Structure 1
Amino acid sequence: MPTRLNQTVADSALLTKSLPLELLRAFVQSDAADDGLTPSLMAELKLLARTPSLLVACNYGGTLCTAEGISTETLPLGSASVALRALAALPNTHTAVISGRSLRDLAAVSRLPAEVHLVGSHGAEFDMGYAHGLALATESVLQNASLALMEAVGFEKGISIERKPVAVAVHTRPAARKVVAAVTQRAQDVAREHNLHFIVDGSVLDLSVVEPSKGEALERLRARLGVGAALYAGDAPSDELALATLRGPDLGIRVGDAVPAPGHRLRDPESFARVLAMLFELRRAWLFGEDAVGLERHSMIGNGSSTALITPDARICWMSHPLPDSGSIFAHILGGDAAGHFSVEPLKPSPVLAQRYVDSTMIVETRWADVTVTDYLEPAPEGITSLVRVLSGTGGARITFAPRPDYANAPFSMEARGDEVHVVGTSDPILLSAPGLDFSITSDGRHATASAEVDLRNGPVVLTLRCGDTEPYTADPGGETERRSAVALASRQWVGGLKIPTVKAALVRRSALVLRALVHEPTGAVLAAPTTSLPEGIGGTRNWDYRYCWLRDGSMTVKALVDLGSTAEAEGFLDWLGRILANAPGPEWLHPLYSVSGAPLSTEATIESLPGYAGSRPVRIGNAADHQVQLDVFGPIAELIHSLAIRTGVLSDAHWLLLEQMAAAVLARWHEPDHGIWEARRPPRHHVYSKVMCWVTLDRALRTAEQFGRDAHAEWAPTADTIRAEVLREGWDDAAASYTVAYDSPDLDAAVLHIGLSGLLDVRDQRFLDTVAAVERELRVGPTVFRYRYDDGLPGLEGGFHICTTWLIEAYLAVHRYDDALELFNQLVNLIGPTGLLPEEYDPATEMHLGNHPQAYSHLGFIRCAQLLDAYTPPTP
């Protein structure tokens, strides 16, 4: 099910074909010293560009073009027309022209496409049929007024009269000034005599049966389109009605000097065309990301309680505080510069030479020709995030510190105090210590940014960002090397205790370190991923918050570490689970996921102010899957307890109690339908994978009881047999020649491979061989395997899931298709990012990596495959 790039990107490219974007950019970059493009206007444009839903509206003559005319005499400036069209092609962006011209004339002369809303007759005429609804008496009034005007002013040189659907217009532009004055007075008298509204619109005098209603028209467009903010530009008195309706984040612009009024004023229509081009550039950058770096190219640092993502050019683009699911400090990956970042770049422009992890650590080095940045999160007391950035080399570097707390929604100010930068006004203290640096602070009218330049020939510079530290921080640059060495030593000692397979050993070590960094040591919970809303399809809505502990994912993550020889993470996770069960009404009522603190999740919400990665929205906070029924979660927990006991040779009473509770939950609910592993947002079904995992729960409980001398409950064995028989009978579909996603469904699902991988069905059974063949045939595309292809009740497309790819590799090995397993494994290896990390998905059609990053599922699956390939023994002939 390949993902497609957001069509609006292509649409805007097509719309700008008549005038290349380079010309728009030339407008932006040209000298604007005296045309009204002031710094305050630019600041407001930047804010307006970040509005979730925007309307850009303006008058026609005198605003989009230099003068009014009749019929096709006047056309809008080419650049203004292209900018309007390009803006209209952007997501959640609407454009409109509200003119005094008749709608028919406006459409003919402007030649603007259907994407641009046109409103004629000073805001009264929204459709071509409007004039046909006028009463005969009204037509008579207009006819009489037209005749009166012809007699009164029609003979004057340079004067012409035009009949409109709701008005009679007197055009005065070519006439001499004295003639215009006299004609204006006579036309006003005719309007009074015929009880018509007299409207002066530049060089056009309108005698209209309706009042000018540009304000009402703007309000009507806002309501119809559901926009949150608007820009309106105009040059005539009638435009003041529209400008008067602006409020809040709206922006009003007057063009020319016809109407004296305070506010932003541009010199001429060409200046307004430049503003439209600027707004397009700003909004496109905000919507689609100024530099949507491939997800797999991001590196993660972590210290067991906090994580952060780093771009290939050493920008901290994501970090939350104090908990994984707390508001962000930096969210550049979801909203560009406006969402917050912490950047370092060489003063002498040069390409990045390399980015790498220091061997067997979560310390990242980014190197240019004359600048190196070393990043890590050092251990800190609970509730404190401590990020260290060390700059070294022989050149100069520029530092930009732009925190944007709470997804760029929290107000704050910034103060430079000696060699420290303090973020003031936030709920938790935020302090950047930078001995020897002199920061300057600027503001874009909403947020502050601190910047500094440093000459590294004078020695390394240590930047320490402390969030949540209420005690004064004493910088110790001389001791940084020792602190970093201690961090590296602890990491290497942990890695040294693992049993690493020989197959892709370096990548397995990196995957293990990633999994360990996703363990929240203060609580024992395990994150599915450290990020939220990284899309499963570019431009789509499948953007989920994974900064929580799924019981399934957490169990599988720490089991992968147990299988490598590290058991402390599993012990911590089971302790965390025990505390949750102590407060639950019963094990059968466990939620599928919890916050790391063990609390149920709050309501899923969206952050409208963030455009999302590469324009993919919404950005979600929370996860509605918390309210689903997922009966498969008990199986991975049971399997973890069994594996941990085998690894350590000990089964504690606490862990046996947990196993009994998981079995009790299965006995109580295994026969119910549920939402399944993939959390489809549709009614529950009898999912085959969920039933298999219910069987796994009882099977592992029985094995553990036998191996460790515990008393198995009487109901376990017969219930396990009942579940197995039902799954084998009801889960098979003759038409698909495979086990399928749910009873009475022909749809394939990669998760049903577990019917054999779990041991429920012998892998030599023809039904399992056929299921492997069906998954391979229907769900594998090149180097990836899709979860399924059926309608799951959600809009949009997604990529193939790396965890599904690893399941197929495991299935190949189980049925002794070693060459196929090795080939697919190597293809998976080729998809791993340059520093060894994997996100959740891959789209073979666009060759893009998708989903939250790095993903625990992807890395634990990779470890499992490497171990199986390492231990594989061909069948005996």
Structure 2
Amino acid sequence: MATPLNQSVADSALLTRSLPLGLLRAFVQTDAADDGLTPALLAELKVLARVPGLLVACNYGGTLCDAEGISTETLPLGSAAIALRALAALPNTHAAVISGRSLRDLAAVSRLPAEVHLVGSHGAEFDMGFAHAQTLATEALLQKVGAELNEAVGFMKGIWMERKPVAVSVHTRPAAPDVVSAVTKAAREIAARHGLAFIVDGSVLDLSILEPAKADALENLRSRLGASAAMFAGDAASDELAMATLRGPDMGLRVGAGKSVAAHRLRDPESFARVLAILFELRRAWLFGEDAVGLERHSMIGNGSVTALVTPDAKICWMSHPLPDSGSLFAHILGGDAAGHFTVAPVKASQVLGQRYVDSTMIVETRWADVTVTDYLEPAPDGITSLVRVLSGHGAATITFAPRPDYATAPFSMEARSDEVHVMGTSEPIILLAPGVTFNITSDGRHATATAAVNLANGPVVLNLRCGDTEPQPADPAGETGRRAGVALHARQWVQNLALPAVKPSLVRRSALVLRALVHQPTGAVLAAPTTSLPEGIGGTRNWDYRYCWLRDGSMTVNALVDLGSTSEAAGFLAWLGRILANAPGPEWLHPLYSVTGAPLSTEAVIDSLPGYAGSRPVRIGNAADHQVQLDVFGPIAELVNSLSEREDALADPHWELLVQMAAAVLARWHEPDHGIWEARRAPRHHVYTKVMCWVTLDRALRTAERHGRAPKPEWAPAAAAIKAEVLQEGWDAAAQSYTVAYDSPDLDAAVLHIGLSGLLDVTDQRFLDTVTAVERELRVGPTVFRYRYDDGLPGLEGGFHICTTWLIEAYVAVGRIEEAWDLFDQLVNLFGPTGLLPEEYDPGTETHLGNHPQAYSHLGFIRCARILDAHQDQHGTRKRHDEPSRG
């Protein structure tokens, strides 16, 4: 199985990580007084490191190395060469040296690798052919100028001359000051007499046919390489021409003395080497992520309105406000510290002893030897987010509150007032209430951060972050225990009413709590996942925003809860859907997904300033699937209404009307091609899964009508029969010996298993048995099952989908392959994170968890499998399975 890495990104990452970076880090950590590495410079480097495309360019002699000349003693500093090469190896990062030397001399002396662009002759010479393209007149003039120079100054001590493609150079470095002065005067007069440009570049005097062109060279490179920002460093007058073109996030660095337009001055080339090392470290962290924590190791907290992710070491790394698809307040998981985080850690460094959910709740505890952090989201009035963090123990802890509103793009300021921290300049008030805690506010020039240290031996500390609350009540640490107990009681009462299977009941319980937390209670909508752009392949571009309600996913999520005995979520979801239908031109024109408010999505956009999880870009906001045609969505809705009415032994009139509308939508459009369940971004096709779900819509409508004495439409049964006949005929591929993804296609996808799982085709039919075998053979790899293997028009690869794995488990049970079902189920169980959560995908090649987290699909599929296996062992007396130790 190939890894899901984008190969070019992977190669660059491996190259840069194989370099002697200890040397680079030593430069970063070295303290050198008056070297020019100021806090302001560091702050600007952080900004520059995060641009989409970066060009780092500099002069050679006097900037990258100490002196001019053509001998091997003037090779670049070893560390500078390493840093420049490392920068050039990073994705979307380019390095260049623009020197007054001839290109041949520059290449020979610098010995820089091919990935560093070299430009000679003060910016005029981009390739070796330049020297051979000069006219005879140019050659004659330079010979004449060379002869005059030799006669005038060639005899002086410490002076020697060099021919370049378009210039004659006089090197003065070893000469005495009075000799240098006399030579400079004579050379200037000769240049003027012949109409040549006179260029002073350190200890080198150039009499050139061409004016210095470093500015043009920099612009040429910027345009050709697609750089969105540039750094240029130099020490000579000709370098100032290039620095004068810098703008926006660009950075100019003057190395050494002399007048300059650059905003920053460095002491010497060694200081510049340190800057290159710092820039490399900053950009590498931005591109590849700052030691990305495995997705499955993140825990989620939620209160029915808002969710947040917590790392294994108690860092709030993701939270948005006030809606699930609003801009983030903390986005560390997508951009490291610079994207926002809320961190608590013991002062005395130690390993985390463990993280767990408080039993049957969404309250998370993270414990060190002398510090415990308890996190939960407290129920609050609509539009208000209340995050509570309780610090307890007998040690000391540090608190770092670093909000970065709107994906770290919105300006804001911060102010400490008594024991409160106020975030100002945001669209809604944000206040951190912290009784007894004194915060210190600092700024890096763009963003403010509040820090504090507390001694827990004096008692617990309660931090209450309130967003959107115009009049927050004073925090009452003494009352927090009671509020927390109320939150826990509410969750436990809900859990106690669930009918949990005997198979893995604690994991089923946790999965149910996760699904319930994905229900947006104010509206009834259901999130597919609480996150955006967690990658389907590390370093790839398959990064999607899942903070919306897909009609398919939402129906399946609340249906899983109905199966466990909780029906209120289904009622809320169907009411939400009813409001959408009331404003739709017709049920057949439903969008595949909506925001939780019921509004269509805005245009899919990219946040260029965020590097993405482990460097996986782009980070996307919005989802273009909103504009697709997905005609399978009616089936899961009909399945839900059927299940809910069966569970309650009653059918509400609005639910029957909804079922009638879904059937009407199918009758109107089932014959059309669509984009399918996997939302392929290419031309619509006649997808087999879609046709099966259209049949399911009519079949479940007929069942529901019969059960509850309703009158079905006369066209439902004939249409269902027609769809079934067409699917069985057109969906089968004789060459593949399987049902396939679409009519007239040999490609296989895991969703075709529903041709039997739905009841359309008898599971004992040889065609279904063959389809199960084909999916197993072509799509299963170890503990996971891939959606498909065909080219879907998108770059990069992805992992196996947990929902597909659960479908194959269900198919194994349906066809009587029970031991194989148990074996695959056990392998799936082993993939759960330490607190019982699952993301969307898993790559068996790299053993990496992938996709948005936690994923509703993954957890609802697991619940269904546990229930099916439990029912089978009860019915057939097959081997009993004991639950694993509780993960909360």
Map 1:415-426 to 2 at 5 A: 415-426=415-426
The aligned counterpart of 1:321 is 321
Amino acid of the structure 2 residue aligned with 1:320 = S
Deviation of 1:155 after TM superposition, in Å, equals 1.5
Consecutive unaligned residues in structure 1, runs of 5 or more: none
Map 1:63-462 to 2 at 5 A: 63-70=63-70, 72-259=72-259, 263-462=263-462
1:790-832 residue CA offsets vs partner (Å, 9 max, x unmatched): 0001011000000000000000000011100000000000000
The aligned counterpart of 2:35 is 35
Deviation of 1:34 after TM superposition, in Å, equals 2.3
**Distance of 2:260 and 2:851 partners within structure 1:** 53
1:165-206 residue CA offsets vs partner (Å, 9 max, x unmatched): 111111111111111111111111111111110000001111
Question: Retained in 1: the 8 A contact 2:466–2:472?
Answer: no
TM-score by length of 2: 0.97
Say if 1:875 and 1:351 are closer, same or farther in 2 by CA, change over 3 A: closer
Deviation of 1:4 after TM superposition, in Å, equals 3.7
Amino acid of the structure 2 residue aligned with 1:539 = G
1:836-875 residue CA offsets vs partner (Å, 9 max, x unmatched): 0000000001100000000000000000000001001577
Amino acid of the structure 1 residue aligned with 2:615 = G
Deviation of 1:12 after TM superposition, in Å, equals 5.0
RMSD: 1.3
The aligned counterpart of 2:535 is 535
Question: Retained in 1: the 8 A contact 2:6–2:797?
Answer: no
Deviation of 1:259 after TM superposition, in Å, equals 3.9
SS across alignment from 1:632: coil
**Distance of 2:80 and 2:478 partners within structure 1:** 58
Deviation of 1:60 after TM superposition, in Å, equals 0.5
Question: Retained in 2: the 8 A contact 1:532–1:621?
Answer: yes
The aligned counterpart of 1:749 is 749
**Distance of 1:481 and 1:782 partners within structure 2:** 46
The aligned counterpart of 2:15 is 14
Deviation of 1:104 after TM superposition, in Å, equals 1.5
Q: Which moved more, 1:725-734 or 1:169-178?
A: 169-178
Deviation of 1:16 after TM superposition, in Å, equals 6.8
**Distance of 1:11 and 1:499 partners within structure 2:** 51
Deviation of 1:74 after TM superposition, in Å, equals 1.9
Deviation of 1:362 after TM superposition, in Å, equals 0.1
Deviation of 1:262 after TM superposition, in Å, equals 6.5
1:8-67 residue CA offsets vs partner (Å, 9 max, x unmatched): 4553553575x6111111111112222111111111112211222211111001001000
SS across alignment from 2:275: helix
1:467-498 residue CA offsets vs partner (Å, 9 max, x unmatched): 00112332111110000000000000000000
Amino acid of the structure 1 residue aligned with 2:329 = I
Does residue 561 of structure 2 align to residue 556 of structure 1?
no
Question: Retained in 2: the 8 A contact 1:397–1:455?
Answer: yes
SS across alignment from 2:479: helix
Does residue 525 of structure 2 align to residue 525 of structure 1?
yes
SS across alignment from 1:831: coil
The aligned counterpart of 1:866 is 866
Question: Retained in 1: the 8 A contact 2:635–2:693?
Answer: yes
SS across alignment from 1:872: helix
Q: Size of the alignment, in residue pairs?
A: 876
Question: Retained in 1: the 8 A contact 2:10–2:539?
Answer: no
Say if 1:333 and 1:811 are closer, same or farther in 2 by CA, change over 3 A: same
Question: Retained in 2: the 8 A contact 1:15–1:82?
Answer: no
Amino acid of the structure 1 residue aligned with 2:752 = V
1:558-577 residue CA offsets vs partner (Å, 9 max, x unmatched): 00000000000000000000
Map 1:728-807 to 2 at 5 A: 728-807=728-807
Say if 1:56 and 1:876 are closer, same or farther in 2 by CA, change over 3 A: closer
Question: Retained in 1: the 8 A contact 2:301–2:364?
Answer: yes
Deviation of 1:148 after TM superposition, in Å, equals 1.4
Q: Which moved more, 1:152-161 or 1:449-458?
A: 152-161
The aligned counterpart of 1:674 is 674
Q: Which moved more, 1:386-395 or 1:40-49?
A: 40-49
Amino acid of the structure 2 residue aligned with 1:187 = A
**Distance of 1:797 and 1:809 partners within structure 2:** 24
**Distance of 1:67 and 1:623 partners within structure 2:** 55
SS across alignment from 1:574: helix
Question: Retained in 1: the 8 A contact 2:525–2:573?
Answer: yes
**Distance of 2:260 and 2:501 partners within structure 1:** 78
Question: Retained in 2: the 8 A contact 1:524–1:569?
Answer: yes
Question: Retained in 2: the 8 A contact 1:395–1:456?
Answer: yes
The aligned counterpart of 1:828 is 828
Say if 1:6 and 1:272 are closer, same or farther in 2 by CA, change over 3 A: farther
SS across alignment from 1:366: strand
The aligned counterpart of 2:479 is 479
**Distance of 2:352 and 2:5 partners within structure 1:** 28
**Distance of 1:511 and 1:472 partners within structure 2:** 33
Question: Retained in 1: the 8 A contact 2:4–2:799?
Answer: no
**Distance of 1:391 and 1:875 partners within structure 2:** 50
**Distance of 1:494 and 1:814 partners within structure 2:** 31
SS across alignment from 2:830: helix
**Distance of 1:249 and 1:473 partners within structure 2:** 42
SS across alignment from 1:316: strand
1:742-798 residue CA offsets vs partner (Å, 9 max, x unmatched): 000001100000000000000000000000000000100000000000000101100
The aligned counterpart of 2:690 is 690
The aligned counterpart of 1:716 is 716
Deviation of 1:133 after TM superposition, in Å, equals 2.6
TM-score by length of 1: 0.99
Amino acid of the structure 2 residue aligned with 1:59 = N
Say if 1:876 and 1:78 are closer, same or farther in 2 by CA, change over 3 A: closer
**Distance of 2:376 and 2:144 partners within structure 1:** 82
Question: Retained in 2: the 8 A contact 1:235–1:259?
Answer: no
Question: Retained in 2: the 8 A contact 1:515–1:856?
Answer: yes
SS across alignment from 2:423: strand
SS across alignment from 2:207: strand
The aligned counterpart of 2:883 is none
**Distance of 1:819 and 1:876 partners within structure 2:** 13
Question: Retained in 1: the 8 A contact 2:244–2:261?
Answer: no
Amino acid of the structure 2 residue aligned with 1:11 = S
Q: Which moved more, 1:228-237 or 1:443-452?
A: 228-237
Percent of aligned positions that are identical: 80
**Distance of 1:788 and 1:12 partners within structure 2:** 28
Amino acid of the structure 1 residue aligned with 2:834 = P
SS across alignment from 2:143: helix
Question: Retained in 2: the 8 A contact 1:400–1:451?
Answer: yes
SS across alignment from 1:94: strand
Say if 1:2 and 1:560 are closer, same or farther in 2 by CA, change over 3 A: farther
Deviation of 1:218 after TM superposition, in Å, equals 1.0
**Distance of 1:260 and 1:415 partners within structure 2:** 37
The aligned counterpart of 1:501 is 501
SS across alignment from 2:75: coil
Amino acid of the structure 1 residue aligned with 2:15 = L
Deviation of 1:102 after TM superposition, in Å, equals 1.1
**Distance of 1:774 and 1:108 partners within structure 2:** 59
Q: Which moved more, 1:787-796 or 1:140-149?
A: 140-149
1:303-358 residue CA offsets vs partner (Å, 9 max, x unmatched): 00000000000000000000000000000000000000000000000000000000
**Distance of 2:262 and 2:701 partners within structure 1:** 78
